Amino acid sequence: MTAIRIATRASGLALIQARSVADRMDRELGAPTEIVPLTTTGDREQGVSLAKIGGKGLFVKEIDEALLDGRADVAVHSAKDLPAVVAEGLEIVAFPRRADCRDALIAREAGLTLRSLRADARIGTGSARRAAQLQNHHPDIEIVPLRGNVATRLKKMDDEDLDGVILACAGLDRLGLEDRIEERIPTEIVLPAIGQGALAIVVRSGDALVKDLTVLDDPQTASAVSAERGFLLRMGGDCTTPLACLAESTSAETLRIRGLVAATDGSRIARDELEVEIEKAESGGAELAERILAAGGEELLAQSRKEVET
């Protein structure tokens, strides 16, 4: 049997994620696999703000191309890296069970939490979403722009004399670095990115693998991420925008969806939430976006786009 080629970013975390999917394909489909690591534009441009060079699509462009030109058969992405609309000719076929969706504080001082940060603490993050919500919660802290893989960011915490850095719990857990987490930040304080903690499996539309790979899908995760991506699509935002959304099951039939858009400095936040039937997950996310846009979100989005352009 020919090996199924799995395209992924070449970072340590992305390779761990891809291998976890490969292991499941071996166990559940009896399919041999081959990992195809690729370096994306987003990975190469480490010294440049994503907002200045095109946003989160830069982490998937080369992987999409490998699928479309036949160099790979399947792609494994962090769901939060996906733009609101996948490339023509491709489709998402599965969302495996989601890991911890929260953000994490890693601090130089053991036992430190957001509540116990000193007023002038220096916190590193490359995320507009995290920065805005942190400054809304702690207006006096200094946000230090930070990019790179997990190891690079942890090293910069020491090299740049930072009090802490904010990273995703899921990535730290997958890397076996959960002992570095001082606080798993409550979602009431920092709402996660769309799709954070989830993986997305993408293939060419119409490929025979479309049907086979549905076995890897977790329906609860798929419904939640579908709601969040519905929100993202209607908001028209990306990782350059202080935008967040999280959908969570409240019963076997319903989802609670929370969303927000913020001023880049955290001085204002437009937020709302609603509960919908799971069957209406995507449209529920879009409805929530409409409500937030009408309640000041449109103005905040326009301002954030203007700031990126300048």
Q: What is the pLDDT of residue 41?
A: 66
Is 159 buried (19+), middle (13-18) or exposed (0-12) by CB count in 10 A? exposed
Is the torsion defined by CA of 255, 257, 221, 179 positive or negative?
negative
CATH architecture, domain 1-97+198-217: 3-Layer(aba) Sandwich (3.40)
Global pTM value? 0.92
CATH architecture, domain 219-310: 2-Layer Sandwich (3.30)
Q: What is the pLDDT of residue 1?
A: 65
Any bridge partners for residue 276, and if so which? Answer: 255
Domain 103-184 shares a fold with domain 219-310: no
Q: DSSP assignment, residue 295?
A: I
Q: Where are the domains of the chain?
A: 1-97+198-217, 103-184, 219-310
**Residue 48 token pair:** 């440049």
Axis-axis angle for helices 219-235, 281-292 (nearest 10):
30
How far apart CA 171 and CA 103 sit, in angstroms, is 10
Which residues form the catalytic set? 81
How far apart CA 276 and CA 28 sit, in angstroms, is 33
Any bridge partners for residue 222, and if so which? Answer: none
Question: Which residues lie closer than 8 Å to 298 by C-beta, 6 or more apart?
Answer: none
Q: What is the pLDDT of residue 53?
A: 44
Edge-first strand order for the sheet with 90-94 is 33-38, 4-9, 74-78, 199-204, 90-94
Judge whether 232 and 292 are in contact, CB under 8 Å.
Answer: no
Residues of the chain with pLDDT under 50: 48-50, 52-53
Q: In CATH, which superfamily holds the domain spanning 103-184? A: Periplasmic binding protein-like II (3.40.190.10)
How far apart CA 30 and CA 23 sit, in angstroms, is 10
3-state secondary structure of 97: coil
How far apart CA 264 and CA 143 sit, in angstroms, is 11
CA 245 from chain centre, in angstroms, equals 10
